[in-house]
Amino acid sequence: MAEIDIYAGLKKFFGFTRFKGLQEEVIKSILDGNNTFVVMPTGGGKSLCYQLPALMQDGTAIIVSPLIALMKNQVDALRALSSEEGVAQVLNSSLNKTEVKRVKSDIASGVTKLLYVAPESLTKEEYVAFLQTQKISFMAIDEAHCISEWGHDFRPEYRNLKSIIQRIGDNIPIIGLTATATPKVQEDILKNLGMPDANTFKASFNRPNLYYEIRPKTKSVDADIIRFVKQNEGKSGIIYCLSRKRVEELAQALQVNGIKAVPYHAGLDGKTRVKHQDMFLMEDVDVVVATIAFGMGIDKPDVRFVIHNDIPKSIESYYQETGRAGRDGGEGHCLAFYSYKDIEKLEKFMSGKPVAEQEIGHALLQEVVGFAETSMSRRKFILHYFGEEFDNETGEGGMMDDNMRFPKKKHEAKEDAAL
Ligand code: ADP
Ligand code: MG
């Protein structure tokens, strides 16, 4: 029975005929009223996991999300799918008195199925007192890794969520969702949300169509990058650099060599950033040279290569950034240049930070060193880091990295790194 219902709901609310990955199992767990934990890569379809059960149940689901822009996107999309404007509402500090009143009356009348809130809004006594009197179907904590100092986006406000949820209601089911696959972060999430027994659904993080390659970084890195890009003429690619200065330099070097490339970093004014991003999306240029400011929310399915001019500060970042290649399932070459000197540079950057943060940063960097210098399968290394066992013989993409394709001895890898 429940099965028929959720398929009907999927069609009715979203127009889809099938679930993606583990969505169906997740949704059943939520509809059964269980605490549920969802780990799926970016683009895996996590939002629908809470949106559909929220739309199908009595009461209002509270969705905690860290960014106003993310909330707004979802609210607009849900309103477009529904005949009721009030089906999705946001509660935040930008609302005036009249607007707050409207949101409250929509919740009270049962029109609002999803209420999006920033964690800091939930600390407002007035809101908590109101929500206590309402029928809440469940609480979903999106981007739940923000709870953990081991994640890439720690937000202290996320730490208070459990006690606030308890104040809103005694037996409200909690749903945590994240794309962060490291076991440490996951442990933190379950502990902080007080749900060690949550039904856990974890999708594989394997990206079989991506080819991983690390090369030693030498003085000729510019020439190496230019040669690689020329060999991939006409294909779209992203080149990540640590500093704005290096972004500008490298973009220029590419342009001088006849490659259609634009720079992108937070130091450029908003207009230029949008223009360069659009040029890349519209394929007026092939390459965008960027700091990590580029990429969040960018969905270009046919990015054929991601180059790291500088090794990222964690495996997590490396995975997210390389993950922007080959979204369409086609070829995706991930090439990173590595020198131990860059690790020392990154260590130095951290030296001004609080000791606890430095320790975490150092531990994350050591993993990066291990990854860059390993002679084992890069894919196996990444997936192991994410707590997944991978068998190169039977797993998809088992041969898709430099070490598997061109095995070399351990000391050679070490010598390369010392350059
Ligand atoms: P995540 O939050 O995991 O990164 P999203 O929730 O943003 O992913 O979903 C990514 C994309 O997948 C969206 O464009 C969404 O519409 C689409 N999607 C989700 N579920 C389905 C489905 N069952 N069938 C088809 N497309 C889906
Ligand atoms: Mg999401």
Contact indicator for 364, 313 with CB cutoff of 8 Å: yes
Q: From the CA of 40, give the closest atom in ligand 1.
A: 3
CA-to-CA distance for 175 and 190, rounded, in angstroms? 10
**Which of 178, 213, 218 shows the shortest CA–CA distance to 198?**
178
pLDDT band at 417 (very low <50, low <70, confident <90, very high): low
With 80 as the cut, is the pLDDT of residue 412 above it?
A: no
Reported as a single tens digit per residue, the pLDDT across 5-20 is: 999 999 999 999 999 9
Tell the residue nearest (CA) to atom 16 of ligand 1. Answer: 45
Helix (H, G, I), strand (E, B) or coil at 283: coil
Per-residue pLDDT, 152 = 79
Per-residue pLDDT, 233 = 96
Residue located via tokens 């490396």: 318
**Ligand that comes closest to the CA of residue 41:** 1
Per-residue pLDDT, 294 = 87
How many angstroms separate the alpha carbon of residue 231 from the centre of ligand 1?
34
Reported as a single tens digit per residue, the pLDDT across 367-392 is: 999 999 999 999 999 999 999 999 99
Q: Using DSSP bridges, classify how beta strands 88-91 and 114-117 pair: parallel, antiparallel or unpaired.
A: parallel
Residue 222: φ, ψ to 5°: -60, -50
In testing the pocket of ligand 1, which one of 17, 47, 50, 67 has its CB within 8 Å of the most ligand atoms?
47
Segments in 42-154 forming alpha helices (H): 46-56, 68-81, 97-108, 125-132
State whether the beta carbon of 70 lies less than 6 angstroms from ligand 1.
no
State whether the beta carbon of 176 lies less than 6 angstroms from ligand 1.
no
pLDDT, mean of residues 207-222: 97
Q: How far is CA 125 from CA 100, 198, 301, in A?
A: 14, 28, 44
Q: Could you tell me the pTM of the whole model? A: 0.87
How many angstroms separate the alpha carbon of residue 392 from the centre of ligand 1?
29
Residue 346, burial from CB neighbour count under 10 angstroms (0-12, 13-18, 19+): buried
CA-to-CA distance for 39 and 21, rounded, in angstroms? 11
Residue located via tokens 């969040």: 296
Reported as a single tens digit per residue, the pLDDT across 20-75 is: 999 999 999 999 999 999 999 988 999 999 999 999 999 999 999 998 888 888 99
Higher per-residue pLDDT: 1 or 215: 215
243-246 long-range contacts, CB within 8 A, separation 24+: 243/291, 244/291, 246/309, 246/310
Contact indicator for 291, 265 with CB cutoff of 8 Å: yes
Tokens of 176: 């945590």
CA-to-CA distance for 271 and 274, rounded, in angstroms? 5
Per-residue pLDDT, 1 = 47
How many angstroms separate the alpha carbon of residue 23 from the centre of ligand 1?
10
With 80 as the cut, is the pLDDT of residue 140 above it?
A: yes
Residue partners of 138: CB distance under 8 A and separation at least 6:
30, 33, 50, 53, 54, 57, 61, 62, 172, 173, 174, 175
State whether the beta carbon of 333 lies less than 6 angstroms from ligand 1.
no
Contact indicator for 318, 312 with CB cutoff of 8 Å: yes
Contact indicator for 282, 300 with CB cutoff of 8 Å: no
**Ligand that comes closest to the CA of residue 320:** 1
State whether the beta carbon of 42 lies less than 6 angstroms from ligand 1.
yes
Q: From the CA of 20, give the closest atom in ligand 1.
A: 23
Average per-residue pLDDT in the chain? 94
- CA dihedral of 259, 265, 269, 275, whole degrees rounded to 10: 40
Rounded to a whole number of angstroms, the CA Rg of the chain reads 23
How many angstroms separate the alpha carbon of residue 37 from the centre of ligand 2?
14
Reported as a single tens digit per residue, the pLDDT across 155-175 is: 999 999 999 999 999 999 999
Q: Cα 387 to chain center, whole Å?
A: 17
Reported as a single tens digit per residue, the pLDDT across 305-355 is: 999 999 999 999 999 999 999 999 999 999 999 999 999 999 999 998 999
Ramachandran category for residue 329: left, alpha or beta (phi over 0 → left; psi -120 to 50 → alpha): left
Tokens of 379: 């894919």
How many angstroms separate the alpha carbon of residue 116 from the centre of ligand 2?
13
Per-residue pLDDT, 298 = 74
Per-residue pLDDT, 153 = 84
Reported as a single tens digit per residue, the pLDDT across 316-328 is: 999 999 999 999 9
ipTM tops 0.95: yes
How many angstroms separate the alpha carbon of residue 113 from the centre of ligand 1?
19
Q: From the CA of 19, give the closest atom in ligand 1.
A: 23
CA-to-CA distance for 39 and 204, rounded, in angstroms? 9
Per-residue pLDDT, 210 = 98
Q: CB neighbours (10 Å) of residue 314?
A: 23
In testing the pocket of ligand 1, which one of 6, 11, 18, 20 has its CB within 8 Å of the most ligand atoms?
20
With 80 as the cut, is the pLDDT of residue 413 above it?
A: no
Handedness of CA 78, 79, 81, 87 (dihedral sign): positive
Contact indicator for 372, 345 with CB cutoff of 8 Å: no
How many angstroms separate the alpha carbon of residue 98 from the centre of ligand 1?
34
Residue located via tokens 């430095």: 358
Per-residue pLDDT, 384 = 97
pLDDT, mean of residues 223-227: 98
How many angstroms separate the alpha carbon of residue 203 from the centre of ligand 1?
14
How many angstroms separate the alpha carbon of residue 199 from the centre of ligand 1?
21
Contact indicator for 385, 315 with CB cutoff of 8 Å: yes
Tell the residue nearest (CA) to atom 2 of ligand 1. Answer: 46
Per-residue pLDDT, 249 = 98
State whether the beta carbon of 46 lies less than 6 angstroms from ligand 1.
yes
